[in-house]
Amino acid sequence: MFFFPILFAVLDSETDRALAARLQAREPEALRELYDKYGRLAYSVIFRVVRNAAAAEDLTQETFLRVWNRMAGFDAQRGSLGPWVLTVARNRAIDYVRSIDGRMSQNAIELTGAESPALFLDMESVILNTQRAKLLQSAFQRLSDHQRTVIELAYFEGLSQTEMAGRLGQPLGTVKTWVRSALRQLREEMEEPVTA
């Protein structure tokens, strides 16, 4: 199993707010800082999904340009930059593998709709830092093999529960149970809900 979390510096929300304001002001230095903070993590997520270095570079570039060009819609005071960047990165990668596979779940929603900058508000509790990454890793390791597999298939391969059932040769109801219990267990172990 490949898991080891990417360790990255503690990112305090105050710093991210200032960074977001500078990105909105189109400060070139701010884009450099954004890439230096999240570039490695975004690339790692994308590379895990597409498993192709050239495509991962293209998609990482697309991710940062999308964020740079959509900063006008981001709330610099309440917005959460890290979760937004990572969501855009993951969605670009999943869109890519779906398009080249000609694979699209019958019911899969348009991923672009779930990455609007206006949605990434008040996520103080998910400030991405090494401690929380370790917490998630240990919570993930406590899942059963089946639960870990379905989380990987969902997050890194973008498979719907129906597609997972087909891939794993398991009844849909069983897969739904694994997915839901895994997400619930991870959520509970990560504690602290997002503030309203």
Partner 1 sequence: MSDTNRDTLYELYALGLLEEPELSEIEAELRSGSPDAQRLLRQALANNAMLATLAPAADPPPRLRRRILAAAGVEEKTGWTWIGAWGLATAALLGGLVYFSTEATRLRKDGFSVREELAVTQTELRRSHATLAFLRDPGTTILKSGSSEERQPVARVFVNPGQGVLLIANNLPRLEPGKVFEMWLVPKSGGPIPAGTFSADASGAALHRSTGSFDPNATAAVALSVEPDGGSPAPTTTPFLITGM
Restricting to residues 132-171, which ones interact with partner 1 according to CB under 8 A? 132-133, 136-137, 140, 151, 154-156, 158-162
Binder among 19, 20, 41, 143 for partner 1 (CB under 8 A):
41
Q: Within positions 19 to 38, which residues make up the interface with partner 1, using CB under 8 A?
A: 28, 31-32, 35-36
Binder among 16, 19, 37, 90 for partner 1 (CB under 8 A):
90
Q: How far is the CB of 19 from partner 1 (least distance, A)?
A: 15
122 binds partner 1 (CB under 8 A): yes
- What's the Cα-to-Cα distance from 68 to each of 12, 25, 53, 91, 157, rounded to whole Å? 20, 10, 22, 16, 26
3-state SS track over 77-110:
CCECHHHHHHHHHHHHHHHHHHHHHCCCCCCCCC
Q: Which of 110, 87, 108 is nearest to 160 (CA)?
A: 108
Q: How far is the CB of 18 from partner 1 (least distance, A)?
A: 18
Size of the site for partner 1 (CB under 8 A): 95
CB-nearer residue toward partner 1: 18 or 83: 83
DSSP-assigned letter for residue 114: G
The residues pairing with 121 across neighbouring beta strands, listed in sequence order, are 79
Binder among 19, 20, 45, 175 for partner 1 (CB under 8 A):
45
- How many whole angstroms separate alpha carbon 81 and alpha carbon 122? 11
Query: CA 139, 4, 2, 38 torsion: positive or negative?
Result: positive
Binder among 108, 167, 168, 174 for partner 1 (CB under 8 A):
108
CB-nearer residue toward partner 1: 102 or 169: 102
